[in-house]
Amino acid sequence: MADTTTAPTSQPAAGQAPADVAFPKTIRSFVRRTGRVTTGQAKAFEDLGPKFLLPYANAPLDASAAFGREGKLILEIGFGMGEATAHIARVRPEDNFLCCEVHEPGVGALLKRIGEQDIHNIRILQHDAVEVIDHMLPDSSIDGVHIFFPDPWHKKKHNKRRLIQSPLVAKLASRLKPGGYIHCATDWEPYAAQMLEVLNAEPQLANTAENYANKPDYRPLTKFENRGLRLGHGVWDLVFIKR
């Protein structure tokens, strides 16, 4: 799903370097922005939040307790409005999906989908994914990572703000169990090339394809993506596994 949690702003987010600093001092998975929560989303927060929203804690996550069952744990970073997330959770009911998003309307939208579609294998952390990785996910604790359509930061001077950078990929690889995977997708070709370069350079990972992968069956074509394909835009999937 297109990542709606990141957008260029005139002022840097808290803890983030200004645009004229060569590299941000603090890596974050988002730039916080405001948005309007609908009545339906607010009701979903009230009715479903107590069950499906997890509190951030500076302690390892007990996934079996959080989900009430055992299962493969898949981390999703930045789910936008949750369309793809809900679809994947439905077609992979045996897996548990831990989803990080700070954009409140997006969180409300996914909670609303959870209620409407009777989904039980999603838990949401409304918190910076980098801090979740650092403090809640020990080494070799997750089975997969999904990062779909993160903000491409089109301008060259903003490329340093892109989520897929070597330090984050190394963190993610260390949290994967052997045989676990990282699946990224983007519709911005220069970002796809950077993703491929960064993922190829991580010694803990191996590419499942010669370059870009075929779209796995579980990832749906969203309305956003279908519109882009009709306009002739490409989409690139990358799937790497932990050695």
Cβ contacts of residue 17 below 8 Å, gap of 6+?
A: 23, 24, 25, 26
217 is catalytic: no
Query: What are the backbone angles phi and psi of residue 165, rounded to the nearest 5°?
Result: -130, 160
Q: Which of 3, 128, 143, 151 is catalytic?
A: 151
Q: Specify the DSSP class assigned to residue 213.
A: B
DSSP-assigned letters across all residues of 38-82: PHHHHHHHHHHHHHHBPPP-SS---HHHHHTS---EEEEE--TTS
- CA distances 130 to 63, 76, 126, 167, Å, are 18, 12, 12, 11
Which tokens in the block code for residue 172?
A: 């993610």
CA 37/CA 123 separation, integer angstroms: 19
DSSP 229: H
The Cα–Cα gap between 109 and 56 comes to 20
Residues annotated catalytic, as ranges: 151
